[in-house]
């Protein structure tokens, strides 16, 4: 429960440098939320270029330390997926914060997760997000399998191997999978290229020599 002029909050933002995102796009809304309710903003925590699938992140870890110390009562995020994209991790995080007397407010979902209803919604939302990622991966695998079968029947010689040249479509595919939180090893396996190729593509995007296409 927010008490104007007394409730202390922390603002958390996570952005992808792969997509050239600016944390200010999230923070401006978080600050407005806090200001409209006369909350005391203790600190703003920002993780840049770190996948939401990673449980350990510099700013997130530091925020948990301050939560444990009782420095604030609420963490405000722009959307639930800014905190994490794994259902198990999200539920563990919520339970851990609950022990510290800290709850989470997500602007996009419009829910405070300190109530039984909020807990239920959290589980459902996280599960749906995880299911969506799994379905995308399955569609990609099925599409490649169908293409390989068609090539075999037609005798075109196409196969799902490791191409010597990274085409624009492969470049886009690699960026998309990375944005979804996939590891370098997973991306290489799904796309059918070497880990070095994946790293080279992502490094080029981050340096600005290749424009993000996802």
Residues 6+ apart with CB under 8 A from 2: 37, 39, 74
Dist. CA 183–CA 189, nearest whole Å: 10
Determine whether 16 is an active site residue. yes
Residue 187, classified by CB atoms within 10 Å of its CB into exposed (0-12), middle (13-18) or buried (19+), is buried
Catalytic residue among 16, 51, 106, 126: 16
Task: Give the CA angle between residues 140, 151, 173 to the nearest 5°.
Answer: 30
CA atoms within 13 A on the CB side of 171: 16
Residue environment code for 112-124, b if the CB has 16+ CB neighbours within 10 A, otherwise e: bbbeeebbebbee
* Residue 59: C-alpha distances to residues 8, 46, 51, 78, 181 (Å): 18, 6, 13, 16, 17
Closest C-alpha to 140, from 185, 170, 167: 170
Active site residues: 16
């Amino acid at each position: 429960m927010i008490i104007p002029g007394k409730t202390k909050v922390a603002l958390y933002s996570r952005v992808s440098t792969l997509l050239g995102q600016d944390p200010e796009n999230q923070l401006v809304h978080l600050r407005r939320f806090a200001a409209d309710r006369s909350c005391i903003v203790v600190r703003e925590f920002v993780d840049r270029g770190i996948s939401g699938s990673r449980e350990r992140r510099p700013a997130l870890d530091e925020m948990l330390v301050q939560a444990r110390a009782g420095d604030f009562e609420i963490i405000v995020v722009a959307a639930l997926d800014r905190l994490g994209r794994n259902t198990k991790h999200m539920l563990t995080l919520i339970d851990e914060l609950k022990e510290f007397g800290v709850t989470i407010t997500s602007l996009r979902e419009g829910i405070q997760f300190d109530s039984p209803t909020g807990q239920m919604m959290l589980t459902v939302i996280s599960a749906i997000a995880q299911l969506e990622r799994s379905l995308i991966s399955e569609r990609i695998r099925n599409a490649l399998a169908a293409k390989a079968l068609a090539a075999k029947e037609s005798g075109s010689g196409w196969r799902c191997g490791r191409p010597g040249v990274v085409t624009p479509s492969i470049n886009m595919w690699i960026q998309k999978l990375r944005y979804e939180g996939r590891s370098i090893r997973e991306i290489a396996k799904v796309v059918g290229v070497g880990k070095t190729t994946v790293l080279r593509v992502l490094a080029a995007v981050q340096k600005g020599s290749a424009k993000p296409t996802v």
